[in-house]
Homo-oligomer: A and B are copies of this chain.
């Protein structure tokens, strides 16, 4: 059984999808040992409380510098025995020291088909605005291991979603969440918890 620590900044719908998938048995060998938010009022913290999951608020604003924030985050991940760190709508840049320590044990969900519409500046609604501005007919979501770049790590799962004629960024965001994010994030956790995949250079492969 692996301990998953989920890092969030907002509503926590991806956290909820993961909680539900674990409770339904669709994700096995994993338990969420803590939820860490950088915002005290994130609704994700309420979701954690409802399911009896410990939580913490650790914000870079509460520390004098990045180094101290990194140490606080590392201490929290150790406190909750994190085997896997899930960035689920976490809008803070993770310190390099934390990324390096957890490489191969930290994953992120991005609401597009990487390498489209990703990189610095592409988060939240901006991603879907970019998709609509380019006139894409297909978009989707990606779960990937976190490396030192922005959205550049090895890809675990991707799922395509159709763009519709009258989509607004908000409508498209919701469809991508429902049809892709809430499915592939739990699936990725299940693959890792059951040791089904490994990283080979830039590529994620299945164990045979």
Bound Cα distance from A208 to B205, whole angstroms: 45
Chain B residue nearest in CB terms to A156: B137
Chain B residue nearest in CB terms to A203: B135
Is A105 interfacial (CB-CB < 8 Å)? no
Bound Cα distance from A116 to B113, whole angstroms: 8
Contact A138/B165 with A113-B116, A115-B116, A116-B115 known, Cβ cut-off 8 Å: no
Q: CB distance B115 to A138 under 8 Å?
A: no
Is A155 interfacial (CB-CB < 8 Å)? yes
Residue among A135, A155, A158, A206 with the highest chain B CB neighbour number at 10 A? A135
A-B contact pairs, 22 of them (CB 8 A): A113-B113, A113-B116, A113-B136, A113-B138, A113-B160, A114-B136, A115-B116, A116-B116, A133-B202, A134-B155, A135-B155, A135-B202, A135-B204, A136-B155, A137-B142, A137-B156, A137-B157, A138-B158, A138-B159, A140-B160, A160-B160, A165-B205
User: Known pairs A114-B136, A134-B202, A138-B158. 20 more at Cβ < 8 A?
Assistant: A113-B136, A113-B160, A114-B116, A115-B136, A133-B203, A134-B155, A135-B155, A135-B202, A135-B203, A135-B204, A136-B158, A137-B142, A137-B155, A137-B156, A137-B158, A138-B140, A138-B160, A140-B160, A165-B205, A165-B206
